[in-house]
Amino acid sequence: MNAKIRQAVEILKRDGVVAFPTETVYGLGARLFSEKAVKKIYALKGRPADNPLIVHIADRSQLHLLARRFPPEAKKLMEIFWPGPLTLILERASVVPKSVTAGLETVAVRMPNHPVALELIRGLGEPIAAPSANLSGRPSPTRYQDVVRELGNKVDLILDGGKTARGIESTVVDMTQIPPRLLRPGFVTLEMLKKFLPELALPLEQERKGVASLGRSAVSPGMKHPHYKPNCKVVLIHPSNWSTALSNWKEKNLRLGVIACHHKIPPHQNIVFRKSLFGSEKNYARNLYACFFDAEHARTEVLLVESLDEKGIGRAVMDRLTRASKTSA
């Protein structure tokens, strides 16, 4: 085990908190069974107490500790997508602290596909509870320097894993509902999941569109809180309206940031940050939060972002962008 990871393990054992890389975004980890460390995470992030954490494991043997039941479909998804960017909601075993599940009778579990994350969990010999390593409501860090900027001296240690491979948070699927429900889209796409779960239901809020109220509460508590917001206004622009919208914004006397997937962005005096031509939706997703942080650094006032079609990874990107562009909770 490398010396830094060994140090991180020691910190976790002593109820400290450690930021670490995963293949999606950086996480802020605590020993699952340390009430003290889990409390620190909520306090440090300013995270609402009703928003549960994901439990990260390094191998299947740790699962039995965490959940009461494993539906065959859940086992199938684990076989196919783990380790990887998929979080499964299962019925919680009684030893899982309620502080981690925010009082729910379910638990979120994922096996990350990153050597540092896996070595850290193995070194500790216990699962690690970890939300994304950002202050509540902010974009998730995907680079070491963004974690430093975001959490700096608030955490005991930050493990450096460079830039993460995926760039957006894991897909979350609730396996305790019949049929199972997608709660948060991610790199494991709806299309990929439907091959194994043809009945998979969409997030409740998407079903609610156009419906006043179904009288049910949000199933994924985290999704009702404001999220992914940089400290500038985010405006989504549809590709069909790109040139007109950009020209209009350029005329205003504002510090603009522009992020485009497929369009070129010629320099302009009012554009203080620009990044474009990512080549693919995957690459766009991978770089999105890094661009948010860079745009902030350039003191952007309004960040114009090209929207994608809501299919494949585009669905996950649009989920984050729509939330980032919301003006109120």
Binding partner of residue 114 among ligand TXA, Mg ion, none, CB under 5 to 8 Å per kind?
none
34 lines the binding site for Mg ion (CB under 5 A): no
Distance CA 11, CA 40 (A): 13
Which part of the chain contacts ligand TXA (CB under 6 A), choosing from 147-155, 168-176, 247-255, 256-264?
Answer: 168-176
Residue nearest to Mg ion (CB): 132
Which part of the chain contacts Mg ion (CB under 5 A), choosing from 35-43, 69-77, 132-140, 281-289?
Answer: 132-140
Binding mask 69-108 for ligand TXA (x = CB under 6 A): ----------------x-x-x-----------x--x-xxx
Binding partner of residue 220 among ligand TXA, Mg ion, none, CB under 5 to 8 Å per kind?
ligand TXA
Query: Which residues contact residue 229 at a Cβ distance below 8 angstroms, ignoring those fewer than 6 apart?
Result: 137, 138, 139, 323, 324, 326
Among 5, 31, 32, 51, binds ligand TXA (CB under 6 A): 51
**CA 22 → CA 39, 118, 173, 178, distances in Å?**
22, 9, 19, 30
Binding mask 144-183 for Mg ion (x = CB under 5 A): ----------------------------------------
Q: Which helix (H) or strand (E) holds 273?
A: strand 271-275
Distance CA 16, CA 170 (A): 24
317 lines the binding site for ligand TXA (CB under 6 A): no
Paired tokens of 320? 């984050």
User: Where in 10-85 does DSSP place strands (E)?
Assistant: 18-20, 27-31, 54-56
27 lines the binding site for ligand TXA (CB under 6 A): yes
Query: Which residues contact residue 246 at a Cβ distance below 8 angstroms, ignoring those fewer than 6 apart?
Result: 237, 258, 265, 304
The footprint of Mg ion (CB under 5 A) covers: 132
The footprint of ligand TXA (CB under 6 A) covers: 22, 24-25, 27, 51-54, 85, 87, 89, 101, 104, 106-108, 110, 112, 130-132, 169-170, 172, 183-184, 220-223
